[in-house]
Amino acid sequence: MKRIALYDTTLRDGCQAEDVSFTLEDKLRVAEKLDELGITYIEGGWPGSNPRDEEFFRAVKKLRLRHARIAAFGSTRRANIAAADDLNMRLLLKADTPVVTIVGKTWDLHVRDDLRISKKANVEVIGDSIAYLKKRVEHVFFDAEHFFDGYRANPDYALECLTAAAQAGADVIVLCDTRGGSMPHEVLAATRAAARAVSVPLGIHCHNDCELAVANTLAGVEGGAVQVQGTINGFGERCGNANLCSVIPNLQLKLGYHCVSAAQLRMLSEVSRFVYELANIEPSKRQPYVGVSAFAHKGGLHVAAIQKNRETYEHIDPELVGNHQRVLVSDLSGRSNVLYKAKEFGLDLDSTDPAVKTILEEVKRLENAGFQYEAAEASFELLMQKALNGKVRHFRLIGFRVIDEKRTEDEPPLSEATIMVEGPDGTVEHTAAQGNGPVNALDRALRKALTKFYPQLERMQLHDYKVRVLGGDAGTAATVRVLIESGDEHDRWGTVGVSPNVIEASWQALVDSIEYKLYKDKKRSTVGTQRAGKRG
């Protein structure tokens, strides 16, 4: 079975999409998720383009990635300057990644009208840049920008650029449909021509301006490409990039290529929703393979047929990509998803356990109210624990009050929270704290009250906080969903809260984050004690 290397550029090209923005913490979480999915290469950003990307390349080294290799992205050196003196080249090396990807022109129109140098000079720029980096970096990939437009306009020159990259030592030459305007038959023919011209492995990078990015990617693979580039959910500039959530299953399930393991393929829907959630974008219901409507059935004829044989109206088993069949009148599936998550969390749960039904009913009720658990794994694990063992509870709220006061027009508002809680021994703790906003003040007051009982909470940090309005019809009275990312020295986790009151929604997510921290600490301590007993 032929292997295809997956190159994800969600954290660089995907971030160039309108309405898509990731914090540093988001980018690190996405990188970990992509690694779990089995992505071969993760493009982290353009060193020097912004402080966040510079910090990402420092911080990502601390992650324990098991599979993926991080790539830094940049451009070829400027004309009329040595590669060693080019700032972009120096910043790429400073990123200290095992892979560097550089983009260079292969369309003579761009050479003439954009770079405004001779075609010969552009070829020299490509060769010099790759040769310089190849002596200093383990793997150098060359993105042949506008290759298909260039091949259409001047095939000899476009191939000459590829030859220069190959001779300079490029490990992979990536053919780019940068404008997204090519047709599949054009991509196939040009890729085959490139494969005849150079012996270096080829990659394919397509944009979606004609709604053909996925089709063009598949055509590129048919033409000889062994690396595919794209983004999760097709995020990208203008109309987006090739959607890896469609490319991967098409290659693996339809065309027989190997991209990821079967277990990793089952993560695809989860990863899609995870990235949507961190980007604070509502998932596309009708997205192929991973959308919640991808295997949903409403018409009576369809429902009657799939109850007899799902293949009548489903082109694959949805479980293969981590999705599930839905009947819109009554949801008849989901049990396997619960069992899968239980196994992932290390929980002992059998398909015949009444708790499975309890969990399904509770998830259905809460999701109907606006809860989503794709990026709130901790809240979902607590929900499962509640069904199995009763509610996880380490303290009891007696009450809290949050005051937001603005005294003058020119001064920032003052936020103060007071809280009263009952600890595990029945002791009541009453504290107050100030913050830069009402939620921050409430977070500080709660942890101040609880550290007396649980000192380990001092090592817990709140990394990120997101609010999404659920439906805009109610205006300022609309329900909101709050997603919080927390962490300690061992792990990071997400929690969720939903309410028409943003403080209440935040409180729900904050409580879950603390309860999860204490629950995990207890679980970790129990496992450690058991292991010590076995060694003894």
- Assess if residue 355 is contained within a domain: no
Residue closest to 74 by CA, chosen among 135, 22, 143:
143
CATH number at residue 234: 3.20.20.70
Residues 274 and 156 in one domain: yes
Residues 259 and 300 in one domain: no
**266 pLDDT above the threshold of 80:** yes
Evaluate whether 88 touches 74 at the Cβ level (below 8 Å).
yes
Q: In sequence order, what are the residues at sequence separation of 6 or more whose Cβ sits closer than 8 angstroms to the Cβ of residue 535?
A: none
pLDDT (tens digit per residue) in 195-215: 999 999 999 999 999 999 999
What is the sign, positive or negative, of the torsion defined by CA atoms of 504, 507, 511, 512? positive
Among 252, 278, 304, where does a domain finish? 278
Q: Which residues contact 273 (CB under 8 A, 6 or more apart)?
A: 283, 290, 372, 374, 375
Q: What is the predicted pLDDT for the residue at 180?
A: 97
Is pLDDT larger for residue 325 or for residue 268? 268
Using the predicted structure, report yes or no on whether residue 407 has a pLDDT greater than 90. no
Same domain, 223 and 298: no
Answer yes or no: is 380 within a domain: no
Kindly tell me if the per-residue pLDDT of 528 is higher than 70. Answer: no
What single DSSP character describes residue 111?
I
411 and 516, same structural domain? yes
Average pLDDT over every residue of 322-337: 61
Residue 270 lies in a domain: yes
146 found inside a domain: yes
Does the pLDDT of residue 396 top 60, yes or no? Answer: yes
Strand order across the 479-487 sheet: 461-470, 479-487, 492-499
> pLDDT tier at 530 (50, 70, 90 boundaries)?
low
Residue 504 has a pLDDT of 95
CATH number (domain holding residue 433): 3.30.160.270
Q: Compute the mean pLDDT over every residue in the chain, rounded to the nearest whole number.
A: 91
Residue 239 corresponds to which tokens in the numbers above?
């109309």
Does residue 210 fall inside a structural domain?
yes
Same-domain status, 188 and 263: yes
Buried (b) or exposed (e) across 219-231, using 16+ Cβ within 10 A? bbbebbbbbbbbb
Closest Cα partner for 493 from 345, 290, 322? Answer: 345
What's 315's domain CATH number? Answer: 4.10.430.20
Shared domain check, 501 and 529: yes
Residue type, 484: I
Domain assignment present for 58: yes
Domain contains 138: yes
Number of domains in the chain: 3
Tell me: pLDDT of 455 over 60: yes
Do residues 437 and 528 both lie within one domain?
A: yes
pLDDT band at 333 (very low <50, low <70, confident <90, very high): very low
State yes or no: pLDDT of 429 exceeds 50.
yes
pTM of the predicted structure, to 2 decimals: 0.72
Residue 196 and residue 52 in one domain: yes
Q: Is the pLDDT of residue 511 over 50?
A: yes
- Domain span at residue 53 reads 5-278
Decide if pLDDT at 85 tops 50.
yes
Asked if residue 375 belongs to a domain, the reply is no
What is the average per-residue pLDDT within 217-242?
98
Cβ-count burial of 135 within 10 angstroms (0-12 exposed, 13-18 middle, 19+ buried)?
exposed
For residue 523, the model assigns a pLDDT of 79
Continuous segment of H or E residues that includes residue 147: helix 147-153
Six-digit token pair at 325?
A: 């069949």
Do 161 and 14 lie in one domain? The reply is yes
Over residues 462-488, mean pLDDT: 84
- What confidence category does residue 144 fall into, taking pLDDT thresholds of 50, 70 and 90? very high
Do 254 and 304 sit in the same domain of this protein? Answer: no
Q: Which string of b and e fits 511-533 if b means at least 16 CB within 10 Å?
A: bbbbbbbbbbbeeeeeeeeeeee
Same structural domain for residues 174 and 309? no
Predicted pLDDT at 524: 77
Are residues 195 and 202 in contact, defined by beta-carbon separation less than 8 angstroms? yes
pLDDT at residue 210, rounded to an integer: 98
| Same-domain status, 315 and 194 | no
